[in-house]
Amino acid sequence: MLLLDSDMEVTPGSLGPDLPWPGVRGIIRSAAPSAGTDHVLDPSRAEARLQYEQLHPGGGVLSRVPRRSDLTYCHLLPVLDRYLASGHRVLDIGCGAGAVSLYAADRGAEVLGIDISENAVASCRESARRLGLDGRAEFRALDFPSVVPPGPFGMVVCFEVLEHLPNDREAVGMIRGLLAPGGVALFSVPSARAPVHRLRMRLRGRDAFDIEAGHLRRYTAGELAALLTEEGLAMLEVRRTEGLLRNALYVTATGRFLLRFVRSFVKGIVTVVDNASVGLFGESQIIVATRRQADE
């Protein structure tokens, strides 16, 4: 999930898709086959748009561009940096608060950020203006993959989005089609091996966080790799990140409270301990870099 670090000022409720969806109840099966593990909601797209507008009430303007040292982005941004080149045309799908889009724009990329929420897009535009990046970062309200912006792109970023889409396979196929020759597509998804998730499923048979966040599924690394490969993408890199400590900080009420007090001098310790826990307890996030198989 993509929450912002404690020193990044932003209005609560406008942070991104992986926050509780107010008023959403029940379990509905996915409308289309998926490579992941389906076990929660599949609201209609109209309902999904309404829920995301509630998550983005407006005013969520970022006070600064994210840094690689930020606890939230310390795994994602280094992967992005490995494949990002100045002048790249980048598509950020499900851009939320616009943090990743603005980071890429700050490094010289020409970025198009899209999101289903018009409120989120309005906040992104204001953040770009205040940070002096509106010349490099454009934001549009689009319901991907029902609406697809014209490509090609040197990079497509799809962080914490596939798990929300009724047809993840269609989305991956669209992303492949948007890549320029030699282009790279980056994905991150919630892992089915996440420690807190597995504990909740064992004790209760359900994970309330997934239902509240609007997750239609989680993935194992193998399931995600199979989906991407079957849709014509070649794997460049797979990273299993976010262990027990980070998982608890982001998906439990107590953890979210404590996260407010995790300042810079503690972040390094949290990251080291958390990285060590991945091998013991499992990862909560999977990050993958891919390119078109035709480019291999």
Q: Are 97 and 52 in contact (CB under 8 A)?
A: no
Q: Are 284 and 199 in contact (CB under 8 A)?
A: no
Q: Give the containing element (helix H, strand E) for 119.
A: helix 118-130
Q: Which parts of the chain register pLDDT below 50?
A: 1-35, 37-43
User: Around Cβ 222, how many Cβ atoms within 10 Å?
Assistant: 12
What residues contact 32, with CB distance under 8 A and at least 6 apart?
166, 167, 169, 170
C-alpha torsion angle, residues 133, 161, 44, 35 (rounded to 10): 160
217 SS3 class: strand
Q: What is the pLDDT of residue 262?
A: 62
Q: What is the pLDDT of residue 9?
A: 42
| Amino acid at residue number 221 | A
Q: What is the pLDDT of residue 109?
A: 97
Distances (CA, A) of 164 to 170, 189, 295: 13, 10, 29
Q: What are phi and psi of 166, to 5 degrees?
A: -55, -40
Q: Cα(213)–Cα(94) distance, rounded to whole angstroms?
A: 14
Burial class (CB in 10 A: 0-12, 13-18, 19+), 160: buried
Q: pTM to 2 decimals?
A: 0.80
Q: What is the pLDDT of residue 267?
A: 67
Quote the DSSP letter at residue 73.
Answer: T
Rg (CA), the chain: 18
What residues contact 158, with CB distance under 8 A and at least 6 apart?
93, 94, 171, 175, 185, 186, 187, 188
Distances (CA, A) of 116 to 28, 147, 148, 291: 21, 10, 12, 25
Quote the DSSP letter at residue 68.
Answer: T
Cα dihedral across residues 259, 260, 266, 268: positive or negative: positive
Distances (CA, A) of 77 to 23, 92, 165: 33, 13, 23
Q: What is the pLDDT of residue 52?
A: 59
Please give the span between the terminal C-alpha atoms of the chain, in angstroms, as a whole number. Answer: 31
Which two three-digit tokens encode residue 124? 């992104």
Q: Domain 37-242+281-291 class? A: alpha beta
Maximum Cα–Cα distance across the chain: 50
Q: What is the pLDDT of residue 266?
A: 67
Domain residue limits, the chain: 37-242+281-291
pLDDT tens-digit profile of 114-131? 999 898 999 999 999 999
